[in-house]
Chain A
Amino acid sequence: MLVLVIRTFLLYFTIIFIMRMMGKKQIGQLEPFELVIALMISDLATFPMEDIRIPIIHAIIPIITLLFLQVASSYIELKSEKARRMLTGNPSILIRDGKIDVKELRYQRFNIDDLLEELRLKGYFDLSDIQYAILETSGALSILPKTGQAAATKNDLNINITQESLPIPLIMDGVINYKNLKLLEKDETWLKNILKRNKIAYASDLFIGMLDSKNSFYYQLKEGKENKR
């Protein structure tokens, strides 16, 4: 029985390693062949995990081969447009210039209910609001609404704005993140001064402390901790 635990540990870390090697795409973003590979890998790992008569190498060899095939096809796709078209196909335009392309809809075996459902999920309840709807190779639907129906942006309203920067966590669970401090070209004295200004006795009193996108210090105290008086 203990062998099952050891085998599960081994396969778990192998799968984690392989999935990390395969990249950071999520299920919804996977291309068809990547989804098939992910499913095959999960299936390959299951049998040797529960049956100790099957050598673990019988799972590892096909998994490594699949990793190689996946990485190789992604690399070839990256380099050749022809290969990209062959392996992942082309996006299909389902609504063109506000008009549904019935032929393409049929070709993709996408019925009108599917289309309307996808549009509703994207927040468009009216078909007449759509200028373009494109079925991507991953199966997701991209929508370009008619210009009059798109949400107004700050540029449309001529509002002057300054570009926001990325929020940087400086203290997490009471621990100072020196790497991020260095990234900001600041030191601990600078951080202590900020804490002093915000009436915080110790960095360890904070659950989180970060420079937000507007460059102001945002923090939350740990439970039971209070600001200095």
Chain B
Amino acid sequence: MKNVLIAFSLFVIMMVGIFFSVNFINRSCIQLQNLNCALENDIIKENYQDAYKLSLNYIAKWKDASKLISVYEHHEDLDHIDSEILKLTQYIKIKDKSEGLATVHNMKYLIEHIMAHEKVSISNVF
């Protein structure tokens, strides 16, 4: 009976933990997606100075968020974002609009991909 209680409590604690973790991941990803949109706008308007500042801000925010996200997500997914954001700062620095936009777009997809992983959907279940 003790084992049943422990197993049941462990499962309930785990489910509550999962609920909070998924919420955290979604919140962090939405914040990052907003930054991605702002970056995209700055690059389209060729406002490279603001875009550069924003990309540095993005790096700081990503470092904070990825520390916790790495507990739940496959590290390979996070490594892709790491490399894309480093590329982006340099594209903005040399004012390369096409590469900059392509990189931001890819980052948007990668962040979306992390959120999609956590969704309870038919494609994820099967």
A67 adjacent to B7 (CB under 8 Å): yes
B3 interfacial contact with A, CB 8 Å = yes
Q: With A55-B71, A58-B74, A72-B4 given, can you name 20 additional A-B contacts, CB distance below 8 Å?
A: A21-B3, A21-B6, A21-B7, A52-B75, A53-B76, A54-B75, A55-B70, A55-B72, A57-B72, A64-B10, A64-B14, A65-B14, A68-B8, A68-B10, A68-B11, A70-B7, A71-B7, A71-B8, A72-B7, A72-B8
B20 to chain A, nearest CB (A): 13
B18 interfacial contact with A, CB 8 Å = yes
A68 adjacent to B73 (CB under 8 Å): no
Closest to A23 in B: B3
Closest to B14 in A: A64
**Chain A binding surface, main DSSP class:** helix
Please provide the chain B residues from 37 to 53 with a CB less than 8 Å away from any CB of chain A in the complex: none
Task: State which size class the interface on A falls in.
Answer: 10 to 19
Cα-based distance from A23 to B76 in the complex (angstroms)? 37
A71 to chain B, nearest CB (A): 4
Count contacts between A and B, CB distance < 8 Å.
43
A64 partner residues in chain B, CB cutoff 8 A: 10-11, 14
**Top 3 nearest A-B pairs by Cβ distance?**
A71-B7, A68-B11, A53-B75
B4 adjacent to A61 (CB under 8 Å): no
Contact of B75 among A23, A55, A67, A75 (CB under 8 A): A55
Q: Which residues of A contact B (CB under 8 A)?
A: 21-23, 52-55, 57-58, 61, 64-65, 67-68, 70-72, 75
B18 partner residues in chain A, CB cutoff 8 A: 61
- B 47-91 binary contact with A (CB < 8 Å = 1; else 0): 000000000000000000000001111111000000000000000
A70 partner residues in chain B, CB cutoff 8 A: 7
Contact of A55 among B4, B8, B10, B73 (CB under 8 A): B73
25 residue pairs bridging A and B, Cβ less than 8 Å apart:
A21-B6, A22-B3, A23-B3, A52-B75, A53-B75, A53-B76, A54-B74, A54-B75, A55-B70, A55-B72, A55-B74, A55-B75, A57-B72, A58-B74, A64-B10, A67-B10, A68-B7, A68-B8, A68-B10, A68-B11, A71-B4, A71-B7, A72-B4, A72-B7, A75-B4
